[in-house]
Chains A and B, each alone.
Chain A
Amino acid sequence: MKTTYREAMRAALRDALNGDERVFLMGEDVGRYGGCYAVSKGLLEEFGEERVRDTPLSESAFVGAGIGAALGGMRPIVEVMTVNFSLLCLDQIVNTAATLRHMSGGQFSVPIVVRMTTGAGRQLAAQHSHSLECWYAHVPGLRVIAPATLEDMRGMLKLALADPDPVILFEHNALYNQEGELEEDWHVTDIRRAVVRRSGSDVSLISYGGNLHKVLAAAEALAKTGVEAEVVDLRSLRPLDEESILASVRKTHRAVLVDEGWRTGSLAGEIGMRIAERAFYDLDAPLARVCTEEVPIPYPRHLEQAALPQIESIVEKVHEVMGQHA
């Protein structure tokens, strides 16, 4: 069936609300407004105000309340509009949700799912466009996932909810409107394993979330120039599926990391280091990465696009790694 990422996530939310009475959705404008990206449109009418719960603009309180509700036996899905706003509840996520199990000697788990959008590309300027998922991926105690395909968008939530530990689910805002074909049959998709989205022999392109599509397009463009790129979709940013990453690199002997985070302190840097630690002698070329330029994301389209990883910049970087300078 033809559907969009937005509808795929809505289907996942509906399925979760139908499947377990303990599940409820809470966040800013998720109810009457229908979700700021219209993801939860219609769910209030379907499930009522107890289970689709509009909150005040109080990120710390409602995410913290989600954590408390999880401790109290519920299975909250908490939506924070964007990762930018989630900095207002960073304390609750990092200091409480991530630490409680450990600090309590294993007595309390926090089965919460926090959904938030991330990423740039819609001319929303600096305070609505940042990609800070690597901040969350830095923290032990959290599981961080990023669906990139329709199947994953619909299929990841169920396992995220089944996880007794806190899960942060990142949805790239540029994906919501994209259409595609999705099987009618429901599947649960893995939130632990990375997956090879395109097989190739010459170079591993490692990415996740909203940038996967740019990477796949770059791989197609590269194929026309005789370079067969393998595309690895991480899906889980914490824990990283190191074995899948290394397996691909050991096959292709080259790696380019594509990450919409800033280069400094990026997830790409972490992945590159892991490859260097464990597969250095398998490499035929230096590791490389395509990240966002070190600038708060600007508003004008041409500057915004210049700041972000693009199909062209990925292709160019791969050629460089292949020793094929223009």
Chain B
Amino acid sequence: MNREPSRLSRSQGLRWLKDMMRIRRMEETCAELYGQEKIRGFLHLYTGEEAVAAGAIPELEDTDAFVGTYREHGHALMRGISMNAIMAEMFGKVEGCSRGRGGSMHLFDAGTRFFGGNAIVSGGLPLAVGLALADRMQDKPGVTACFFGEGAAAEGEFHESLNLAALWQLPVLFVCENNLYAMGTALARSESVTDIHAKAEAYGIDSQPVDGMDVMSVNSAIRAALKTVREKHRPGFLEMRTYRFRAHSMFDPELYRSKEEVEQWKQLCPIATLTAQLQAQQLLEDRDLTTLEASVDAEIHAAVEFAEAGNWESTEDLLRDVYTEDAVTAQEPIP
């Protein structure tokens, strides 16, 4: 899990920095809005894990598919869903990316092949296998990127899906975001083998651990893995070792881990790390930071305004989209 030697271009560095700041500030704004009761329900924030989404997801092609979990705001943003549509979804407004029907845990977007937003741990893995199967059966070039937490490794579906993907040699890139806690249960308290990547190896899938707090490491790992999946038509697996700085959700009193541990991990903050690296290489000036911050602030301000101004769906439309309207018209049946 060596950190990549610094081969950083200014433009790429600034891009990552901006993306990670966009995620961080969006999430922190969501926490504030939650306090104001603008956002309700469960809210799972990504703070601390930004390097994974920012380093990985922009490497996907338009034809690739994405399958995520309930901690997916950052994923959605990096996949190209507008912050406006994400924020409106959090508010439950009809302008949201899921028409307000899904909320924080169920962001969806057909345009970017973003298939959720799944709040069942490991529930997205079989889905990803099927999307990859469909691509392969139709000779489409896509890779399906499937993101999930390390808690999924305890579920049967994790093992069933890895086996199926390897057995059928399907183009799925499994990305485990190992933040060490399945809600409040530490990895060592739930797994006999805590190296998640080793479980994938048991299925014959190329797999490696990655420093998930370092955007460059994430990026080089994902590029290599995607290349292999794409060219060799077989699944890949990356274990991103990361940490969430905040609690599991807004209801979590965080009794299961010490403040010292959280503080230690905060020393590895991916935004601070990258900022320091860029500064050390004289690729970042103070005024760059000011510009970045202003631009991120403007985007967030606009998104909150957009969500505030959004509309509540009419209850007359309550039953809409349970079934496809006017379905079953293809054939005239008897009698």
Contact = CB atoms under 8 A, between A and B. Distances in A.
Interface stretch (B19-27, B273-281, B319-327): B319-327
Contacts of B327: 163-165
A61 interface: yes
Interface stretch (A154-162, A168-176, A215-223, A313-321): A154-162
A192 B324 CA distance: 14
B108 A105 contact: yes
Interface of A: 22, 24, 50, 55-56, 58, 60-74, 76, 91-92, 95-96, 100-109, 140-141, 143, 155, 158-159, 162-165, 187-192, 195
Given A106-B99, A189-B334, A61 B324 contact: no
Contacts of B110: 104, 107-108
B118 A96 contact: yes
B130 A109 contact: no
B310 interface: no
Contact of B131 (A50, A72, A96): A72
Nearest to B119: A95
Contact of B126 (A50, A62, A105): A62
Interface string B78-119: 000000000000000000111111100010111000011110
B333 A188 contact: yes
A71 B163 contact: no
B123 A69 contact: no
Contact of B163 (A56, A101, A103, A164): A56
A108 B102 CA distance: 13
B192 interface: no
Contact of A101 (B97, B167, B322): B322
Interface of B: 65, 67, 96-102, 106, 108-110, 115-118, 120, 123, 125-135, 137-138, 144, 156-157, 160-161, 163-164, 167, 320-324, 327-328, 330-335
A234 to B, nearest CB: 15
Nearest to A188: B331
Contacts of A69: 130-131, 133-134, 137
Contacts of A109: 324
Most A CB within 10 A of own CB, among B125, B130, B144: B130
B94 to A, nearest CB: 8
Nearest to B164: A61
A139 B96 CA distance: 25
Contacts of A95: 120, 123
